[in-house]
Amino acid sequence: MITLYGAFRSRASRPIWLLYELDLPFTHVNVIQGYRLAQASAPDAPLNTTSPAFLKVNPLGQIPAYVEDDLVLTESLAITNHIARTRGGALGPQTAAEAALMDQWTLFAVTAAEGPGLEIMKITNDGGDKTVEGQAAIGILAERLRRPLKRLETHFATHSHLVGERFTVADINLAECLRYAQSHPTLFNEFPAVKTWLEACQARPAFKKMWAARLAEPV
């Protein structure tokens, strides 16, 4: 039985989206980030990333965490790739070459896309996009994203998806890493093929189910 620890408003959204796609049963243990609480160590505090009970699962105090029998995984994209390889059907690799390509695009997502997009989102959420300094910082971060986005634009000009001309875990991993950059109001207009692909990913029922639960969760 799969147990997934983590809040919807965290990188747990990635494996949750995949689990919903596969309609796999799992136990969801809601663990929120300690920094979201006024007193994370209070006796009546909800289960969070500083709670001793959770630190027994992941001593780093980070979410998500995945437990299946004796296996414990604590990196979101390792979790999604493991689920896809072992239970993913068509969403997982069908050949060794596909497995390599899915690993490649997953590493691309986390090394080339996630960092700048996450920083853009943080600045925007803090209202920095309304300041000259914040706009300048966003401009620098957007420029860092243009090279990987150009790479993707070229790919999606001739391919419907990242691997095998079908929706796979690689699309989930990249879509979730790129989602942060969607807080930039115009960046994706420069890359219409990427925008079309990303919107198609987010139109899937499993994404919508995950997103609705995320929005319903307290900030």
**pLDDT digits over 9-65, tens only?**
999 999 999 999 999 999 999 999 999 999 999 999 999 999 999 999 999 999 999
Confidence of residue 185 (pLDDT cuts 50, 70, 90): confident
Go through 13-43 and write b for each residue having 16 or more CB atoms within 10 A of its CB, e for each that does not: bbbbbbbbbbeeebebbebbbbeeeeebeee
CA atoms of 157 and 93, how far apart (whole Å): 22
**pLDDT digits over 68-84, tens only?**
999 999 999 999 999 99
Say whether 68 sits in a helix, a strand or coil: strand
Q: Does residue 160 register a pLDDT over 90?
A: yes
The CATH code for residues 96-207 is: 1.20.1050.10
CATH topology of domain 2-87: Glutaredoxin (3.40.30)
Positions of E strands within 36-191 = 65-68, 71-73
CA atoms of 27 and 23, how far apart (whole Å): 13
Domain boundaries, the chain: 2-87, 96-207
Biggest alpha carbon–alpha carbon distance for the chain: 56
pLDDT at 128: 85
pLDDT at 62: 97
CB 7 within 8 A of CB 31: yes
